[in-house]
Structure 1
């Protein structure tokens, strides 16, 4: 059979477009040829290219795993107090803490499906949130609703105290926050700030040492022929940037941005497990200089290719503390 005649075949697919340059089908990732707004679109697919033709209604959701939880700040809070981004929500936002169902798309994204029937627990939780009370004593509150309430409390306290957080940092303490109310939320955020201050001091000292060492190295390099040095540096920079991106992709992270710094350092921004992280690494060895999370001063014992697994362990054991925000 001559398979070449199928290579130019055009297919029509209805897929969820979440932004960026690609869209995922059940079997492969496709390049989007024309920029459009996020939503459900009918695509003309030819080879690896997908051209959006017209907006469409959702298709194929019933065959996907369903995830139920409660909404908070554009996320779905479900079992295990996990708060994941909820994609393609309607223009009219669901009520705060509303019970919502979503479907797990082939790339792992959670796609909004619909608002489910509410009970008295959601209304009681909203009143408690408005009045700054805790959830203790309120009956019928599920674990996901309790967690969503805790995140909402932290969100209110975060705005007033000016202390940012990401859900993975506080997940292990979120049910205690829900039970303790506003005072517990503020205590949680202040503890998080204290941990960041400690890590920031360590990072500053490490940075000063790195800059000092880099200046010594640069002074020695000035004795080398400038033309040869320039050509070598261009090649090394291109190679280190490529290796940094490749290390992140192989570790399951998605590179977002890369910036060169003085002293042959790289600042890499990447997405992993639903969050964004910024880390600083050595350009030649990809040794971590500042992980962007609290590693108790052990940053230099990690390399960029192993850092995502360290972040995963910190999230799964509820000890994540982010020190550099993307």
Structure 2
């Protein structure tokens, strides 16, 4: 068999494109070297690359699983108060709280299909929303419509209070919000804000402890009874025993060596001390992006973008389970520095690849609190 002919084979496929550098075929993810506008396109597929050639009509939707729910903005809210983004919405926006159907694409994305016939319940919910009234015990209003109504009330309260929220953060209380109205929505948002403040306070204390420990490792009088305390007099660090100090210093030296090797391969080592060309910089950035993309893809997440923050850190933006997350990682190792969600100080114990499983557990147990909003 001549594998060169196989690798050079060109195929045609009609696929939904959602933006970014990839598109999902039924059996694999393909790279899109030249991004186009989101929509249905006829792609020319060669190897693992897909080039958009022309807009196309949807194909194969009837074979995909159908999902029903009610519309909240650009999300379909289904039973269980799960609010998933809808891709490729029509130019004409359907009425809010409409009953809609979608098809689930092979990568899990929901593709908008159409609006179903509605009854009195949808009009009842719209009137209550317009008049800023709770639904209370209104009859005939199903679970998905109640949840969509609750999210709409939370959205209005969020604009009024300036407290952002993600649907997965409020899912456990959204039916109470639909029942009680704006007052319950504001209580829910204030509880989220208090949890974020508590987390940020804990994060500041953790950074202070890390800095104090760093001073302890380099102090000439290391091994004395000196104790480092914060502004309120609480102990944050003390000198370490000799063996533990040596182990930590060795770990930090190894981390620095890994990062220096990574950085040098992108600068003087790879480019012999000269200023890299635009193409060489692009390749270096692409290498980092490819590593992050592979790590997230293994976990079922999709990379949206990233940017350098300095000190060997990267800010990574990605979607997972229908939500958008922002995480700060170390470029050399992809170890998490700031997960962007409350992990009770355990951020450094996970990597970009393992973080989505932690997010899934938090979402499934209604315990997710997002601290970095995109």
Q: Return the TM-score normalized by structure 2.
A: 0.75
Q: Which residue of 2 aligns with 1:74?
A: 74
Instruction: Identify if the C-alpha distance between structure 1 residues 216 and 57 changes in structure 2 by more than 3 Å, giving closer, same or farther.
Output: farther
The answer to whether structure 1 residue 100 and structure 2 residue 148 are counterparts is no
The answer to whether structure 1 residue 257 and structure 2 residue 306 are counterparts is yes
Structure 1 residue 258: Cα displacement: 4.9
Deviations 1:106-132 (A, max 9, x none): 111100111111111111101111111
Mean CA deviation greater in 6-15 or 104-113? 6-15
Measured in 2, the distance between the counterparts of 1:184 and 1:49 equals: 50
Structure 1 residue 290: Cα displacement: 3.3
Q: Which residue of 1 aligns with 2:363?
A: 315
Q: Do the aligned partners of 1:266 and 1:280 also contact (CA within 8 Å) in 2?
A: yes
Q: Which residue of 1 aligns with 2:322?
A: 274
Instruction: Identify if the C-alpha distance between structure 1 residues 24 and 131 changes in structure 2 by more than 3 Å, giving closer, same or farther.
Output: same
Measured in 2, the distance between the counterparts of 1:215 and 1:74 equals: 50
Q: Which residue of 2 aligns with 1:51?
A: 51
Structure 1 residue 30: Cα displacement: 2.0
Measured in 2, the distance between the counterparts of 1:286 and 1:217 equals: 25
Structure 1 residue 152: Cα displacement: 0.4
Measured in 2, the distance between the counterparts of 1:171 and 1:187 equals: 14
Q: Do the aligned partners of 2:325 and 2:340 also contact (CA within 8 Å) in 1?
A: yes
Other structure's SS at 1:80 match: coil
Q: Do the aligned partners of 1:206 and 1:289 also contact (CA within 8 Å) in 2?
A: no
Measured in 2, the distance between the counterparts of 1:2 and 1:244 equals: 34
Alignment size in residue pairs:
317
Instruction: Identify if the C-alpha distance between structure 1 residues 3 and 303 changes in structure 2 by more than 3 Å, giving closer, same or farther.
Output: closer
Q: Which residue of 1 aligns with 2:277?
A: none
Measured in 1, the distance between the counterparts of 2:327 and 2:203 equals: 11
Measured in 2, the distance between the counterparts of 1:244 and 1:51 equals: 23
Q: Do the aligned partners of 2:258 and 2:332 also contact (CA within 8 Å) in 1?
A: no
Deviations 1:194-230 (A, max 9, x none): 111111111112223334556787999xxxxxxxxx9
Measured in 2, the distance between the counterparts of 1:301 and 1:51 equals: 39
Q: Which residue of 2 aligns with 1:227?
A: none
Instruction: Identify if the C-alpha distance between structure 1 residues 128 and 303 changes in structure 2 by more than 3 Å, giving closer, same or farther.
Output: same
Q: Which residue of 2 aligns with 1:38?
A: 38
Other structure's SS at 1:204 match: helix
Structure 1 residue 34: Cα displacement: 3.0
Deviations 1:20-61 (A, max 9, x none): 122111122222243321111122223323222221111110
Structure 1 residue 304: Cα displacement: 4.3
User: Can you give the 5+ residue segments of structure 2 that lack an aligned partner in the other structure?
Assistant: 221-255, 267-287
Mean CA deviation greater in 295-304 or 51-60? 295-304
The answer to whether structure 1 residue 295 and structure 2 residue 343 are counterparts is yes
Q: Do the aligned partners of 1:266 and 1:281 also contact (CA within 8 Å) in 2?
A: yes
Q: Do the aligned partners of 2:306 and 2:314 also contact (CA within 8 Å) in 1?
A: no
Structure 1 residue 278: Cα displacement: 2.7
Measured in 2, the distance between the counterparts of 1:15 and 1:25 equals: 7
Q: Which residue of 2 aligns with 1:12?
A: 12
Measured in 2, the distance between the counterparts of 1:218 and 1:277 equals: 36
Q: Which residue of 1 aligns with 2:260?
A: 234
Instruction: Identify if the C-alpha distance between structure 1 residues 103 and 218 changes in structure 2 by more than 3 Å, giving closer, same or farther.
Output: farther
Q: Which has the larger radius of gyration?
A: 2
Other structure's SS at 2:62 match: helix
Instruction: Identify if the C-alpha distance between structure 1 residues 33 and 301 changes in structure 2 by more than 3 Å, giving closer, same or farther.
Output: closer
